[in-house]
Structure formats: C-alpha cells, structure tokens
Amino acid sequence: MRAVIQRVSRASVTVNDELVSSIQNGLLVLLGIEASDTEDDISWLSKKVVNLRVFNDEQEVMNRSILDENGEMIIVSQFTLHAQTKKGNRPSYIKAAKPEFAIPMYERFVTKVELDLGKKVGTGVFGADMKVDLLNDGPVTIWIDTKNKE
C-alpha cells in the first residue's frame, strides 16, 4: 500500500457535482493498493497514519497526532500512486490492484482506521471521477509505502 498523507485545514471530495465528504482540520489520505498487499499492510499503515505526529504543539513543533488533535480524516482511493514511469512517458499502472481485490482492501483499511481513530472517516467513491479540493496546512505532505518501511 502507498499513501500520501496531507495535513489540511479543509478538504472535500465531490463526484458529479455532489459533495461526498468534507472535513476541517485533519488529514487527507490518498491510498494506492497493489495486488501483493495484505492485512498486515492494512494494520501497519492504519496505526502509522493515526499516530503520525504532524500537528503542531504549543511550541509550534510537529509533535501531535490526529488522535491528539481530535481531527478529521478523508481517505480517497488513488491507483495512480502505483504509477511506474521508468520506461517512456506514459505511466504504467500494472502494479495497481484490480478493483475486485482493491475495493475490499480499501474498505477494510477505512474500517481499520475508523477503529484506530475511534470515529468515522470520510471517503471518496472508488473508481469515480472525483474532484478533491484541499487546503494543505504547512504544507505538510508525507509519503508512506508499506513495502519500504522507512
């Protein structure tokens, strides 16, 4: 699994001019799933995202998690995070999981995050043409790959 995590002042997802999810002060997580992902990837990434200390404390040091902030979250599926660009100029998405595998994994990840966070999170619509609007706070953007746990 690959995730791009952005600390946001606000974020929303719209599909066909209909607002699907909207948050204030929290995290927008773009999630890419590949066929080799497992339940261990879900658990590890969920705990990492929920406990990631990217919010400022009283000394303006990033030392607080979304749990500490009682923040909100939106998780959006994004297969393009698995783009391979080594050859040519047209990205290949061969590593991105097919929907029959990716959809249940995405849903299980959302459920695990909600359990770890202790509240519902917003989502996008898997496979839809989504319009994601956000105000990146900082900017703070973190990239995590469960196959490369650095």
Give the residue numbers annotated as catalytic, written as ranges. Answer: 80
**Strand pairing category for 72-77 and 62-64:** unpaired
**What is the Cα–Cα distance from 100 to 92, expressed in whole angstroms?**
19
